[in-house]
Amino acid sequence: MRLPLVNQLILISALTLLVSRWSSAAALPSPADHGWPVYGGDFGTTKFSPLQQINRDNVRQLQPAWIFHTGDQSGRSTIECNPLVIDGVVYLTTVTLKAVALEAATGRKLWEFDPQSATGESTRGVNRGLSFWTDGTDRRILYPAARHLFCLDAATGKPAAGFGKSGFIDLREGFDQDIFFLSVGATSPGVIYRDLIIMGSIVGEGPSPAAPGHIRAFDVRTGQRRWIFHTIPHPGEFGYETWPPDAWKTIGGANAWGGLTLDVERGLVFCGTGSASYDHWGGNRIGANLFANCVLALDAATGKRRWHFQTVHHDLWDYDLPCPPTLVTVQRDGRRIDAVAQPSKMGHLFVLHRETGEPLFPVEEIPVPQSEVPGEKSWPTQPFPPRSLRYAQQRLTPDEATDLSPSANAFARERLAKMRTGDIFIPPGFEPSLVLPEFNGGSEWGGAAYDPATRTLYVNASNHPKWIKMVPAKPQTEMSLHELGQHLYRVICSHCHGLDNPRNPASPALATLKTVKQRLTAAQLRELIEKGRGQMPSFATFTELEKRAVLAFLFEDGKTEIIKTADLKLSFADAIPYVATGHHAMTDPEGYPLNRRPWGTLNAIDLDAGRIKWQVPLGTFPALEARGLPPTGTFNIGGPIVTAAGLVFIGAAMDERLHAYDKDTGKLLWEFQMAAGGYATPATFAINGRQFVLIAAGGGGKPGTKSGDSYYCFALPERAGK
C-alpha cells in the first residue's frame, strides 16, 4: 500500500530530529515510495535520506535514468534549484524561472508555469527551490521568481485563486517603510509553518541605496503579511543601539537570503543573515550592527526574537551567513543536546544550543587589524570558533603561495609582496589587500548535510583568494565620460555582472552584458536602468550624468567628452565616500589560484568531538588532471546530501561532474561527467522501490563555466537494484 506523502511525517532519527511533513500525524516513509518534500530534504535542512538501495558497493553502476531539458537556456545562465519530490511528482524551476512538474519516475512533463504570463515582465535570475503546502485538500506550490512570490495549484500549475494579485505578491510591499524603488526579491524558497510561508530576501549590496532585509511571514492562502521582524531594528527594539539613530531609515541589507530552517516541535524558525549595505565601508553604520551577520532564532508563529548570535561584527568583507543553520544533535557526557550548526563564508563552523544560542564549543573574541579609511570605525575583535572547527584556508602570504610550478610560485610571490597579506579579516584599505576566504566563501548557499546516526556534518568550501582596494567614490581627477562609466560599473555593477568590463567571460549568475549593444538600444537600456527588471534593480536614484556615463561605457562611447570633477555630483558619494574597485581574482598566468591546493574541499566534521574527521579535494581541473595531477579541488557552488547507505552526493565543482563519496572515509567512489556544471544541491527519492538521484546541471553562474539547461536523474539499472 502506497501512503500519500502529504500525510506522512519524516522521521530522520528517533534520537535526533523529528520533522513534521504537512500535519501532526507521524508515519515512517513507505519503503517503496519516498520523496524529497522540502528544500534541503526536510525542515531541519539536514539533506539526509534514509534510502539505502544505492550504496557503496553498487554506486559505480549509476547511470542516467532520464534527462530533462528545460529548453530555455540562452546566453550565460544557470540553474541552482534543489527540486521537490512529492507523491511521485518532481517540482523544479528552469533557467528563466518557470515552474515545472514532472513525473518523477520518467521525467515526463505534467505542467509548466511561466511567471511572465502572470506579471507581463520578463524574468531572469536565480531560484534555488520551491515550497509545498496543503491542508489535506488544497495543495499549493509557492516559489520566488525575482521580486515576486508565486502561489500555484500543485495539480495544474495554475495561479492559486485568492493569493495576492492573481496568484502572486510583490515582495517590495509590506516593509513598514517606502522601499518601492529599491531592489527586493528572493532566490531561496520560504519555509512553511502551519498556514504561513516565512520569507527572507535579496536586496542591494552596493553603495547605492538598498532596502533592509526584514524577515516576513505571509498567509499561504491570501498572501497577506502576518508578521515582520526588523533585521535593522526600529526605535525601541532590541539591538537598536548597535546602529546610528537613523540607520533604520537609511541602511539596507542584513537579509536572510540563503533560506530558513524550521524546528516544528519548538515552533522556532532559524536563519543566517547577511552583511549590512554598503558591504565594504561602514562609516554611516558605526556599531556592531545587529542583526546583520547573525544566526537568528525567531518564534515561527509571531516573528518574535528568541535569541541571536553574531558571527561578524560590523562586516566590511561581505561575509554574509550564506545559508541557514542545520538542525543537529551533539552528544556530550552521555546526554544529547539539540543544536544548530552554522557554516559560514569564513569557513568557521558555529555550533549553538538550539534553545538558547549559547556556543557548545568555545568562541573567542580575537583582535583583528583595524581600518585606516577615513570615517570608518571597524570592530576591534571578531568571534572565532576553535581551530578544529575552521575548515577553510584563512591565511595567505608569499610563503603560502602556489606550488603548482616554479614559474607560478615566482609569479605569486611577486604579486603577494605588493599587497597586504596575512590572516583573515584584513580590512579593506587604499592598498590592495588579500581576502581569503573570498567574498563567496568558504561556504556558500549550499550549506551542510547532516548524518544523524554518526552526528557528522558534511560541508564543502572554496579556497580561492581575491583582493580588494578602496578608492574615493568621487573621482579625484578629470576623466572622460566613458571612464566615469567604467568607474561606476566597477563600484556598482560588477558585483553581479563581472569585473573590469562587461565582456568578462567569467561573469556571475546574471546575464552577461557582452552583447548588450546587439540586444538593446540605448533608449531601452536607459529604461532598464531607470525601472529595473527581474533581479535587476531600479537605479532611479542615478543622476542624469551617471545614466549617460554607464551607457557610454557599455556602448563604447563618450571617450572624448571630459568630465570636470570639481562640479561632479554622484548619487551615492555623499553617503558612501569610499568604495571598492571590485572583487579581483588572484590567479597565475594560466588562470589557477595563487594559493596552494586544495582550492576546494569536502569536509566531514565530528560534532561530538568538534573536529574535522576528514577533508578531501572537491573536484579538479581537467587540464591539470590531464597532466597527471591528483584532484586539486575547485571553487564550488551547491551543497551535499548524505544517505543512510554511506554516501555523500555533491556536484558543485567546476569539473562539471556529479560525485559520490564514502561518508566514512571521503574516498571518491563514483563520478559522472555532465554536459554542464551541477551548481545546485541534489535530491534523492524512491518511486516503486527504485531510488533516484536528481541534480540540476545549469552550469554558468559564479564559476563561469559553460551554461546548460538540464536536470540529470540517475538510478541503478533495474536489475542491479533488485
The 10s digit of each residue's pLDDT in 692-705 is 999 999 999 999 99
* Assigned domain for 57 exists: yes
The total of structural domains in the chain comes to 2
Q: Is residue 44 part of a domain?
A: yes
Q: Are residues 478 and 567 in the same domain?
A: yes
In this predicted structure, what is the pLDDT of residue 2? Answer: 42
Residues 532 and 455 in one domain: no
3-class SS at 176?
coil
More confident residue, 476 or 648: 648
**C-alpha dihedral sign at 427, 432, 437, 443:** positive
Q: Which domain holds residue 13?
A: 1-108+445-463+598-722
Run of H or E including 526: helix 522-531
If phi over 0 gives left and psi between -120 and 50 gives alpha, with beta otherwise, what is residue 322? alpha
Residues 424-452: b if buried by 16+ CB within 10 A, e if exposed: bbbbbbeebbbbbbbbbbbbbbbbbbbbb
> What's the rounded Cα separation, in Å, for the pair 325 and 188?
14
CATH code, domain carrying 521: 1.10.760.10
* Burial of residue 579, with CB atoms counted within 10 A of its CB: 0-12 exposed, 13-18 middle, 19 or more buried: buried
pLDDT of residue 513: 61
3-state helix, strand, coil in the chain (%, to 5): 10, 35, 55
* Tens of pLDDT, residues 360-378: 999 999 999 999 999 999 9
Do 617 and 524 fall within a single domain? no
Asked whether residue 644 is assigned to any structural domain, the reply reads yes
Q: Cα–Cα distance between 466 and 615 in angstroms, integer?
A: 23
pLDDT tens-place string over residues 421-461: 999 999 999 999 999 999 999 999 999 999 999 999 999 99
Assess whether 485 and 459 both reside in one domain: no
pLDDT tens for each residue of 192-218: 999 999 999 999 999 989 999 999 999
pLDDT interval class at 649 (50, 70, 90):
very high
Claim to verify: residue 498 and residue 618 sit in the same structural domain: no
* Residue 628 shares a structural domain with residue 510: no
Supply 228's cell numbers: 515582520
Single out the residue in 555, 571, 587 at which a domain terminates.
571
Cis peptide preceding 539, ω within 30 of 0: no
Question: 525 and 632: one domain?
Answer: no
Give percent of the chain with pLDDT exceeding 90.
82
State which of 571, 587, 622 marks the end of a domain: 571
Q: Per the domain annotation, does 192 fall within a domain? A: no
For residue 500, what pLDDT is reported? 46
Q: Which residues contact 57 (CB under 8 A, 6 or more apart)?
A: none
Residues 532 and 560 in one domain: yes
Task: Name the least confident of 128-132, 235-239, 502-506.
Answer: 502-506
DSSP letter (8 states) at residue 636: B
Average pLDDT, the chain: 91
Handedness of CA 67, 71, 72, 73 (dihedral sign): positive
Based on the fold, state whether residues 633 and 707 are members of the same structural domain: yes
Q: Do 608 and 563 share a domain, yes or no?
A: no
Cis? peptide before 442, omega within 30° of 0: yes
**What is the pLDDT, as a whole number, of residue 477?**
87
CA distance 89 to 109: 10
323 vs 2, residue with greater confidence: 323
CA–CA distances in Å: residue 106 to residues 15, 115, 300, 511: 35, 25, 37, 31
- Helix, strand, or coil (residue 76): coil
Q: Burial code of 499-530, b = ≥16 C-beta within 10 A, e = fewer? A: bebbebeebbbbbbbbebeeebeeeebbebbe
Whether 334 is covered by a domain: the verdict is no
Q: Which helix (H) or strand (E) holds 192?
A: strand 191-193
Q: What is the pLDDT of residue 529?
A: 83
Task: Give yes or no for residue 291 having a pLDDT over 60.
Answer: yes
Torsion on CA atoms 64, 66, 67, 68, rounded to nearest 10: -160
Burial class (CB in 10 A: 0-12, 13-18, 19+), 335: exposed
How would DSSP label each residue in 540-562?
A: TTS-HHHHHHHHHHHTT--SSPE
Domain assignment present for 413:
no
Residues 458, 478, single domain; the answer is no
CA 248 vs. chain centroid, Å, equals 25
Same domain, 717 and 691: yes
Unique residue bearing C-alpha cell 546541471: 697
- Decide if pLDDT at 24 tops 90: no
Residue 555 vs residues 181, 515, 519: alpha-carbon distances, Å: 26, 10, 12
Specify whether the CB–CB gap between 607 and 325 falls below 8 A.
no
For residue 438, is it within any domain? Answer: no
3 state SS of 645: coil
pLDDT of 166: 94
Question: Is 183 within the bounds of a domain?
Answer: no
Residue type, 463: N
More confident residue, 519 or 371: 371
